[in-house]
Amino acid sequence: MSGTRGRGLSALAWSARELRRRWRVRRIAPRAYDARIVAVVALAFCAAVAASAYFLDAPLTLWVREWPRGLRRAFAYVTLLGDSLYIFVLSAFTMATALLMRARLAAQPGPFDRALDAALATLAARAFFVFVVCAASGVLSQVLKRAIGRARPRFFDEYGPFHFVFPGFPSTFASFPSGHTITAFACAAAVGWFAPRLRLALFGLAALVGVSRVAVGAHYASDVVAGAAIGWLSAVAVRRAFAARGLAFRIVGGRVLVRRAGLIWPALRARIR
């Protein structure tokens, strides 16, 4: 038992060193990307934030107060989907499990299953990507919240929708942007690149999380729109950094593509059989 645990820890340590080594080597220059699309989308989101702040923040805040209590209670459960803790746990667990399975595979006697080893390495890289996306977007969220210091809708009657206190402490003055929405959209984008068939459902759930933040009275509509934009842009930025180093993504003709697409599940199914 102790021998297996030792091999597992050694595999994790080796993987950490290998990841650090690969991260230091940038294979593709950033100029290989066409940033115009990202810039256009970012400007569109800025316009959407301004429009929602002007036209929607006050009316929606007053409208959701009239919703039935049962509906608002239901949205209080929906909003939990934007909590980053379970995403951190699931992605870290997936990455560690894949690396430990690689170590066990390498220690087994007989012919080495290269297809399964590649599938496990790919799974670990993708889980690590989701973890980094969630962490990076979360840090950015907290920095912006404290720097902007917007009062939450609970102070609407007293201050209106545009009251700011710098720095944004306590959390009652950390309304802009919506952190739950940032997490939801960042992770929807991250997972959606690996599972394109689920992309529409993932972004639908992310949008539902955004609606829930308004429904429970935690945010204004413009907080949610900004959170959606920041979440997506955070995921794009992290993907760019990973692709430049050949981790989880690759660049072909200036386009960012998923590495080893369609490899994981066939290899795992073949092993189970």
Q: Is 74 part of any domain?
A: yes
Q: Is 121 part of any domain?
A: yes
User: Residue 64: its pLDDT value, please?
Assistant: 93
Q: Is 147 part of any domain?
A: no
107-137: burial string, b at 16+ Cβ within 10 Å, e else? eeeeeebeebeebbbbbbbbbbbbbbbbbbb
- Identify the band that residue 112 occupies on the pLDDT scale cut at 50, 70 and 90: low
Q: What is the pTM of this model?
A: 0.87
Q: Over the stretch 198-219, which tens digit does the pLDDT of each residue have?
A: 999 999 999 999 999 999 999 9
Q: Which of 255, 250, 259, 241 is nearest to 32 (CA)?
A: 255
Q: Is 149 part of any domain?
A: no
Domain that holds residue 203: 35-136+158-163+179-238
Q: In a 3-state reduction of DSSP, which class is residue 222?
A: helix
Cis peptide leading into 177, omega within 30 of 0?
yes
Is the model's pLDDT at 183 over the cut of 90?
A: yes
- Identify the band that residue 142 occupies on the pLDDT scale cut at 50, 70 and 90: very high
Is the model's pLDDT at 273 over the cut of 60?
A: no
Domain count, the chain: 1
Percent of the chain clearing pLDDT 70 (strictly above): 81
Q: Over the stretch 62-104, which tens digit does the pLDDT of each residue have?
A: 999 999 999 999 999 999 988 889 999 999 999 988 888 877 7
- DSSP per-residue string spanning 62-105: HHHTTS-HHHHHHHHHHGGGG-HHHHHHHHHHHHHHHHHHHHHH
Q: Are 152 and 219 in contact (CB under 8 A)?
A: yes
User: Residue 230: its pLDDT value, please?
Assistant: 94
Q: Is 219 part of any domain?
A: yes
Q: Is 115 part of any domain?
A: yes
Distance in angstroms (rounded) separating the CA atoms of residues 149 and 161: 12
Q: Is 109 part of any domain?
A: yes
Select the more confidently predicted residue: 245 or 77. 77
Q: Is 257 part of any domain?
A: no
